[in-house]
Amino acid sequence: MTFHSLDRETFQTFAKQHGRSDEVGPIATVYDGDADKTGDVRHIGLYGCGKLCAAVCVVLIPGKTDGTFTCKLDSIVVAGDVRRRGLANIIVTRMFGAAMEETGNAITSFFTQAVHPATVRVFKKLGFNDPPLVGAPISGVKVDPANPAAFVTLLQSRYDNGEIPLKLKCALCLARNRKAVPWCNPAHR
């Protein structure tokens, strides 16, 4: 299990191939149509056995005057054959934690359009508010400016809760243990 930064083309190709669900249909990304492209767009991918299994895209939007940022989660994409394994939680918390670190904890809020039910569940566990029942399904959380480390600790805890079981599965698989259940290979489910 490894993480790598993704270039725009790799992210777009992966999103076009896997960015759809039965619940909401195809997803849009920052690169589609006339989406707002202000801010610093970043993507990372989660790989299992060399295969891109999940990707996330965020946009860091600088504050007007105070050196702070808002982080907009643009999209989460998990390959259809490895869904329901907690990969969205792992990659989102990894990206949010990296963004906090890179900005020196200068992110004051995170938000997203929480349309997919699985996305809403991931964000609820991070303290995001529920999206409204009508209007734009915006969900967000403010980071306590007096204690941004509390949010970083929450991110790390949620990340660890997802990563540790997957790393164990990887270790068993690499050791060719007969009890191994590879999370990145649907043929072994």
pLDDT 10s digits, 101-126: 998 888 999 998 876 777 788 888 88
Assess whether pLDDT exceeds 50 at residue 189: no
The answer to whether 169 touches 182, Cβ cutoff 8 Å, is yes
Name the amino acid, one letter, at 129: N
| pLDDT score at 138 | 84
Average pLDDT over residues 46-69: 90
Largest CA distance in the chain: 58
List, as one string, the DSSP characters of the chain.
Answer: -EEEE--HHHHHHHHHHH-EETTTEEPP-TTSTT----SEEEEEEEEETTEEEEEEEEEEEE-SSSS-EEEEEEEEEE-GGG-SSSHHHHHHHHHHHHHHHHTTS-EEEEEEE--SHHHHHHHHTTTPPPPPSSS--EEEEE--TT-HHHHHHHHHHHHHHHHHHHHHHHHHHHTT-TT---SS-GGG-
User: Model's pTM, two decimal places?
Assistant: 0.86
Report how far apart, in Å, the C-alpha atoms of 138 and of each of 10, 80, 114, 132, 143 are. 27, 25, 6, 7, 16
pLDDT in the model for residue 5: 94
Q: Under a CB-based contact definition with an 8 Å cutoff, are residues 72 and 59 in contact?
A: yes
Residue type, 19: G
